[in-house]
């Protein structure tokens, strides 16, 4: 009777299953469409437009390294460079370059992030001009909300910015500042990573197979300035003992040089790529570009874990504990209090197998990628929570 009822059609024992699967696939497709439509309409309803004015090199770390954003033109010497991307519920546009001058470009968003350099007096004078320009725009209603990303002073002397903060009667809603600034409160003042030296055009490094797996020629590296009567002098002495300096790539100079030559920059990158450890002695501040640059190449930072002179402090329960941001994020570095501990670290290093080093490199590179992703998300969330209208009644 089955054959009669089927007529000339061939009987298919899986027909019911196929129909169910087809229906389920159609349902999934419709659900996905609905989800995309909802997400789009949600974006349209709560879209936030933020324009970032990059007037310090730290802005390039924010845009290219943390946001993974691109800039046009690619030429780093161009007078004007810009980029844009959607992230979270926000449309970000970024402008930078010498031609970005107060009053000579169009303000295209009611919400602005101003990236400033507050390292020294001349930079502060320039940063202040930008703040006054933003203040005028805020007073005339052309700008509603302002955040500042500040390359802070290495000794945390940032008092000059305080009168501009909203909590002090100013107009700046949020401040993201480098180093262990005592006023960081995770409410309107946040610690921001120093990052790599973008002013020396340090690139965004994509991890390669060989970077992670190849044996490296040196146990450690240190290329940098050795100041008189500093712990760096002590480090050099310790490295000379037992011929440890022969196992590491060491290039010390007596004076700091802001401008890299092509050759010196290539040497530095090669040293990071060819060393398992990167030695990070304190300078004016414990935090330095070298930490982030070493992470980029899978070379583990060995950090002199002491607070430097000045006004830098944090909320750590430990006395004189710097690098609160990196430690909070579980940075898998080697922290030492005195360079006398280094020979024992290097002895342990000699005994490590290549396989162990490969695993450590992978862990470091993955941590650094996650760190940048987390900072990006934190930045977006902080802006959206502060700048978007509250849903509460």
**pLDDT tens by residue, 214-261:** 999 999 999 998 988 899 999 999 999 878 999 999 998 766 565 667
Residue ranges of domains in the chain, CATH in brackets: 45-178 (3.40.50.300), 199-370 (3.40.50.2000)
- Token representation of residue 353: 């197998």
pLDDT interval class at 47 (50, 70, 90): confident
Residue position matching structure tokens 């309803």: 45
- In angstroms, the CA 339 to CA 323 distance is 18
pLDDT in tens, 23-35: 766 776 667 666 6
Q: What are phi and psi of 185, to 5 degrees?
A: -130, 0
From 182-191, 295-304, 312-321, 342-351, the region with the lowest mean pLDDT? 312-321
Total Cβ atoms within 10 A of residue 66: 21
- In angstroms, the CA 79 to CA 76 distance is 9
Residue 155 C-alpha from the chain's centroid? 21
- Token representation of residue 30: 């419709």
Q: Is 56 helix (H, G, I), strand (E, B) or coil?
A: coil
pLDDT interval class at 41 (50, 70, 90): low
Name the β-bridge partners of 192.
Answer: 178
Q: Is 323 helix (H, G, I), strand (E, B) or coil?
A: coil
On average, the pLDDT of the chain sits at 90
Residue position matching structure tokens 């992703």: 373
pLDDT at 36 over 60: yes
Calculate what percentage of the chain has a pLDDT beyond 90. Answer: 78
Name the β-bridge partners of 190.
Answer: 176
- In angstroms, the CA 297 to CA 198 distance is 15
Q: How much is the average pLDDT of 369-374? A: 98
CA distance to 7, 98, 108, 190, 291, per residue, from 94 (Å): 69, 14, 11, 21, 26
- In angstroms, the CA 322 to CA 306 distance is 6
Q: Is 72 exposed, middle or buried (0-12, 13-18, 19+ CB in 10 A)?
A: exposed
pLDDT at 283 over 70: yes
- In angstroms, the CA 131 to CA 128 distance is 5
- Rounded to 10°, the helix 354-387/289-296 angle is 120
- Rounded to 10°, the helix 231-240/342-351 angle is 50
Residues 6+ apart with CB under 8 A from 268: 223, 260, 293
**What is the DSSP code (8-state) at residue 64?**
I
pTM, full prediction: 0.86
């Amino acid at each position: 009777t089955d054959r009669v009822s089927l007529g000339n059609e061939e009987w298919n024992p899986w027909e019911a299953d196929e129909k169910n699967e087809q229906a389920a696939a159609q349902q999934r497709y419709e659900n996905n469409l609905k989800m995309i439509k909802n997400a789009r309409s949600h974006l349209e309803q709560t879209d936030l437009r933020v324009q970032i004015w990059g007037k310090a090199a730290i802005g390039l770390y924010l845009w290219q390294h943390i946001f993974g954003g691109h800039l046009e033109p690619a030429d780093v010497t161009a007078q004007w460079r810009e980029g844009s991307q959607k992230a979270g519920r926000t449309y970000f546009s970024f402008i930078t370059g010498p031609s970005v001058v107060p009053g000579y470009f169009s303000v295209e968003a009611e919400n602005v992030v101003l990236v400033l350099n507050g390292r020294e007096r001349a930079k502060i004078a320039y940063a202040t001009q930008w703040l006054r320009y933003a203040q005028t725009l805020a007073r005339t209603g052309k700008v509603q909300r302002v955040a500042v990303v500040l390359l802070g002073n290495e000794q945390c002397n940032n008092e000059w910015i305080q009168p501009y903060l909203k909590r002090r009667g100013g107009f700046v809603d949020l401040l993201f500042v480098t180093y262990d600034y005592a006023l960081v409160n995770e409410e309107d003042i946040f610690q921001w990573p120093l990052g790599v030296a973008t002013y020396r055009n340090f690139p965004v490094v994509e991890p390669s197979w060989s970077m992670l797996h190849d044996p490296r020629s040196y146990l450690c590296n240190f290329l940098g300035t050795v100041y008189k009567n500093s712990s760096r002098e002590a480090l050099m002495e310790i490295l000379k003992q037992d011929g440890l300096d022969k196992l590491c790539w060491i290039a010390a100079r007596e004076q700091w040089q802001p401008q890299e030559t092509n050759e010196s920059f290539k040497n530095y990158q090669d040293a990071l790529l060819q060393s398992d450890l990167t030695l990070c002695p304190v300078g004016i501040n414990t935090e330095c570009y070298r930490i982030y640059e070493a992470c980029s190449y899978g070379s583990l930072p060995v950090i002199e874990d002491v607070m430097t002179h000045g006004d830098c402090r944090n909320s750590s329960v430990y006395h004189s504990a710097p690098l609160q941001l990196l430690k909070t994020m579980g940075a898998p570095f080697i922290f030492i209090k005195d360079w006398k501990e280094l020979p024992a670290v290097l002895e342990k290093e000699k005994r490590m197998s290549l396989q162990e080093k490969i695993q450590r490199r992978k862990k470091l590179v993955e941590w650094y990628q996650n760190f940048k992703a987390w900072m990006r998300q934190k930045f977006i969330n902080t802006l959206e929570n502060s700048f978007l209208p509250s849903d509460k009644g």
